[in-house]
Amino acid sequence: MKIACVQMDIAFGQPELNYRKVLDYLTEAASNGAETIVLPEMWNTGYALTELDTLADSTNRTVELLKSFAKEHKVNIVGGSVSTEKNGGFYNTMYVVDKDGGLVSEYDKAHRFCLMDEHIHLEEGDTLGTFELDNQTYGGVICYDIRFPEWIRAQALNGAKLVFVSAEWPEARIDHWRILLQARAIENQIFIVASNRIGSDPNNEFGGSTMVIAPWGEVRLDMKKEEGIGYAEIDLDEVEEVRKRIPVFADRREQLYEKFKK
């Protein structure tokens, strides 16, 4: 599978500019033969959280855009995340559409990041975020979620051989980003495909380092701070090869862990 990761700057609080830019990137990736395209976190508004009442997507605009693009270009899209308004609150929502234009996942970020005020402005999600594309199970999480190993493990235990990550991760902690992503790949023996933004907003400079990491831990793509699209070829059979080499999942002792759970 040819994967395209979009690493872009996001215009703070300016959805019109961001929708146009994302459409251009989707068009470029599809014309270069991508089968699955991955976008970063909160790409419609950035972290303009105090303005969500006027800026968040409350009309299904993002879903309609992704669905029609996917169907026309026969491409899967892991639509990063966008700020949404639904059920009387605001959410940080990842939409995934398949190449027939079907919505296969709507995942709301489960862990709110207080250093960026998410706990004040956003509701938390409570679904797992696994989904099916081309008869394979995948996982999807958003940024801060990667600090919770049990959350990614839950996705792996539910069959995800690859977990997509969409992020707005600041440069100040980019070493954590890189190490955490590699750890999540190695401990779960899965692919991690992670798209982060670059540029800055009034509060943070963002660190890029969009990466694809293989189940043995090798970095197959690292975009550093370059704006644009990074491509990688992925063969999910590698997951089984690594699990044969070191049978972590067969050796897990679930009952032992339950015994000492606090």
Ligand X SMILES: NC(=O)CCC(=O)C(=O)O
Active site residues: 41, 109, 143
Any residues with CB less than 8 A from the CB of 226 and at least 6 apart, and which? 7, 198, 208
DSSP-derived letter for residue 130 is E
Any residues with CB less than 8 A from the CB of 210 and at least 6 apart, and which? 5, 6, 7, 40, 194, 195, 196, 221, 222, 223, 230
Residue with tokens 């491409």: 75
**Is residue 169 part of the contact set for ligand X (CB under 6 A)?**
yes
From 129-137, 142-150, 209-217, 218-226, give the range in contact with ligand X by CB under 6 A.
142-150
Supply φ then ψ for residue 177, to 5 degrees.
-55, -50
**Is residue 148 part of the contact set for ligand X (CB under 6 A)?**
no
Q: What is the CA radius of gyration of the chain?
A: 17
**Is residue 90 part of the contact set for ligand X (CB under 6 A)?**
no
Least Å from the CB of residue 142 to ligand X: 7
From 12-20, 28-36, 99-107, 167-175, give the range in contact with ligand X by CB under 6 A.
167-175
**Is residue 143 part of the contact set for ligand X (CB under 6 A)?**
yes
Dist CA 95 CA 104 (whole Å): 8
Sign of the CA dihedral running 32, 6, 76, 102: negative
Total residues contacting ligand X (rule CB under 6 A)?
11
Long-range contacts of 221-225 (CB under 8 A, 24+ apart): 221/5, 223/5, 223/7, 225/198
Nearer to ligand X, 155 or 166 (CB): 166
- Which helix (H) or strand (E) is 20 found in, with range? helix 15-31
Residues in the chain, total:
262
Q: Which of 163, 168, 213, 242 binds ligand X (CB under 6 A)?
A: 168
From 61-69, 78-86, 168-176, 225-233, give the range in contact with ligand X by CB under 6 A.
168-176
Nearer to ligand X, 112 or 161 (CB): 112
Within residues 96-115, the interface with ligand X by CB under 6 A covers 113
Dist CA 89 CA 118 (whole Å): 12
**Is residue 52 part of the contact set for ligand X (CB under 6 A)?**
no
Nearer to ligand X, 147 or 220 (CB): 147
Dist CA 227 CA 224 (whole Å): 9
**Is residue 119 part of the contact set for ligand X (CB under 6 A)?**
no
Q: Which of 170, 199, 208, 215 binds ligand X (CB under 6 A)?
A: 170
Q: Which of 21, 61, 86, 147 binds ligand X (CB under 6 A)?
A: 147
Least Å from the CB of residue 246 to ligand X: 28
Q: Which residues bind ligand X (CB under 6 A)?
A: 41, 113, 116, 143-144, 147, 168-170, 173, 176
